[in-house]
Amino acid sequence: GQNIDQPTEMTATEGAIVQINCTYQTSGFNGLFWYQQHAGEAPTFLSYNVLDGLEEKGRFSSFLSRSKGYSYLLLKELQMKDSASYLCALRGGYQKVTFGIGTKLQVIP
Query: Which residue lies nearer to another protein by CB, 11 or 13?
Result: 11
Answer yes or no: are the C-beta atoms of 91 and 99 closer than 8 Å: no
In the bound complex, what is the minimum distance in angstroms from residue 16's beta carbon to another protein?
25
Tell the smallest beta-carbon distance from residue 30 to another protein (Å): 9
Check: CB of residue 52 under 8 Å from CB of residue 61: no
d(CA 41, CA 102): 14
Short-list 83, 77, 73, CA closest to 35: 73
Which residue ranges make up the site for another protein (CB under 8 A)? 31, 33, 41-45, 48, 50, 87, 89, 91, 94-102
The minimum distance between CB 101 and another protein, in angstroms, equals: 5
